Amino acid sequence: MYSLKNKTAIITGGGSGIGKAICVLFAQQGARVCLLDIDEKGSRETVEQINKEAGFAEFFVCAVDQETSVQNVVQAIVSKQVPDILVNNAGIAHVGNVENTNAADFEKLFSVNVKGVYHLAKTCIPHMKARGGSILNMASIAALVGLPDRFAYSMTKGAVAAMTLSIAKDYIKYNIRCNSISPARVHTPFVDGFIAKNYPGLEEEMFKKLSATQPIGRMAKPEEVAALALYLCSDEASFITGTDYPIDGGFVRLNN
């Protein structure tokens, strides 16, 4: 079950964290992984690990917020193989409410988190229409509940959730499925760096505090999110489209 043999998967933001876990697992299940990222060091390490473990992966330097960059990379990929799977995982975070979020930060969040999904979907879908496929977008619980000091970030993830529904509706006739995943906090190098940057000297305390906000009592592991991604992109999920899946340790439904 959950075999991706003979499938080509384009995965953005695969240099670390959730994206890396998705790349590794998809390759283990037989996919040809095309990793798109601006993090050359992390991405090359991911590709090296996959190829060493007898999988297949290629790295393409790509800024998802730049349409020309996306178009050039996707063209290079489809010249060899049309993608069967697109995982829009790349994204950035931000702390702030509406008053203290400046316009530059707001626009950067929108450019990467929203336009990045748009650029990849717009460029890949024409190639996928002939034989169908699966698109998976990384949303967030920030699109489902109010989180303090996450104004711009929540805006972008709400847009991702809405785009997921629109794509699913518009392309169901082409057998293209589109779903999203909404994680709560996931323990990644990004989280460690975020805590170190914003709470210097309080890293251990803040890690425990952030972990405790999930009713299950801990953060998710990247591999747990990757396992859900694998299911949703596999043929076993062929009856699922236009759906968001919280993976949140009970955060959305049990925090009351």
pLDDT tens-digit profile, the chain (256 residues): 999 999 999 999 999 999 999 999 999 999 999 999 999 999 999 999 999 998 999 999 999 999 999 999 999 999 999 999 999 999 999 999 999 999 999 999 999 999 999 999 999 999 999 999 999 999 999 999 999 999 999 999 999 999 999 999 999 999 999 999 999 999 998 889 888 988 999 999 999 999 999 999 999 999 999 999 999 999 999 999 999 999 999 999 998 6
Beta-ladder partners of 12: 36
Q: What domains sit in the chain, N to C, each tagged with a CATH number?
A: 8-184+221-246 (3.40.50.720), 189-219 (no CATH)
- Token digits of residue 113: 């988190």
Backbone angles phi, psi at 20, to 5 degrees: -65, -45
Whole-prediction pTM value? 0.96
Q: Which residues are catalytic?
A: 153
How far is Cα 129 from Cα 207, in angstroms, rounded to an integer? 44
pLDDT (0 to 100) of residue 255: 85
Q: In what order do the strands lie in the sheet with 32-37?
A: 56-61, 32-37, 8-12, 85-88, 133-138, 176-183, 244-247
pLDDT (0 to 100) of residue 44: 98
How far is Cα 70 from Cα 90, in angstroms, rounded to an integer? 13
Beta-ladder partners of 247: 183
Q: Which of 6, 20, 243 is nearest to 137 (CA)?
A: 243
Q: CB under 8 Å to 225, separation ≥6 — which residues?
A: 18, 21, 22, 181, 183, 186, 247
Backbone angles phi, psi at 246, to 5 degrees: -65, 135
